[in-house]
Amino acid sequence: MKKLFTLLLVSTFLAGFQQAYAQCTPDPNVDSLIAPTPGPLADAEINMAYSSVITVSVPADTTLPIIGVTPIDSARISAINGLPPGLTFQCNPASCGFPGGTLGCILLSGTVTDASLIGNTYPLSGTLEVFAIGQTFSSAITGYSIDIVGGTSTNTLQLTQNSSFELYLNQPNPFQNTTNIGFNSPTVDQYEFRVLNMLGEEVHYEKVEAQSGKNNIVFDGAFLPAGFYLYMLSNGKYSSSSRMIISDR
């Protein structure tokens, strides 16, 4: 039964990663170079997975002064600047290069964890380079923004007297060797800390003596290969888990 529960937990964990890191799908109904039109994108809620897609529709040709109708070789997004901490961008195709006459997209994703950012607005900017007849034509991407809003962590179990058990996201993440995993304990207690790989195999176990209030676990993952991992903290009453990534060294 315990093994079945672990496999179900890891399956949910992997599904979350697939959703968070999946390639975006462009909107086939877009008839402009970039869509949606510039403006506020979806709000980013603290401790909640974020995802927003921008579609890029590169025409097969364009009309230039004097030259006339000219085939477009390709277009490229060089960068998306101004993203809130915790969010990144990736493209489909992965190179962020879009051949003429094709659709592509930009996926903004990740999780904002710093509650002090609530209420902030992050204006985004970037550059779209279009290549035709051996020349490069640049166009600025402006007008998009992301607002940070409050939310309730899914890892929090509310208790009495305004105390709670809470497991925080590790920092930094991704990491190469060591990372800090914070948690809040409502009482002095002993916890079991486990790390599982993508197959559901336990690769690390230790007992943690916690004080009442905020605590920190320094996890050294230098002995583990790069990849996705699930970490779990429990004491028989409370249990919580989250995800972390060990990057290539």
Reported pTM: 0.53
Q: How many Cα atoms sit within 13 Å of 12 on the Cβ side?
A: 7
- Residue 58 phi, psi (nearest 5): -95, 120
Same domain, 101 and 85: yes
For residue 10, being part of any structural domain is answered with no
Three-state DSSP class for 116?
A: helix
C-alpha to C-alpha distance for 31 and 133, rounded to whole angstroms: 23
**Tokens 């085939």 sit on residue:** 71
C-alpha to C-alpha distance for 208 and 233, rounded to whole angstroms: 9
For residue 173, being part of any structural domain is answered with yes
- Residue 96 phi, psi (nearest 5): 65, 20
Same domain, 35 and 105: yes
CATH number, residue 121: 2.60.40
Same domain, 123 and 158: no
Helices assigned H by DSSP within the chain:
2-21
For residue 5, being part of any structural domain is answered with no
Q: Where in the sequence is the domain holding 117, given as residue range(s)? A: 26-149
Residue 42's nearest CA partner among 91, 84, 100 is 84
- At residue 43, what is the residue type? D
C-alpha to C-alpha distance for 204 and 196, rounded to whole angstroms: 7
Same domain, 91 and 157: no
Same domain, 132 and 229: no
For residue 80, being part of any structural domain is answered with yes
Same domain, 134 and 156: no
* Ordered per-residue pLDDT tens for the chain, 249 residues: 444 444 444 444 444 443 434 468 888 888 788 888 888 888 888 888 888 889 988 888 887 777 778 899 999 998 899 999 999 999 999 899 999 999 999 989 888 988 888 889 999 999 888 898 888 888 888 899 999 987 543 333 333 333 688 888 888 888 899 998 988 898 999 999 999 988 888 999 999 999 988 899 999 999 999 888 889 999 988 888 888 888 887
Same domain, 117 and 189: no
Rg, Å, the chain Cα set:
22
Same domain, 160 and 95: no
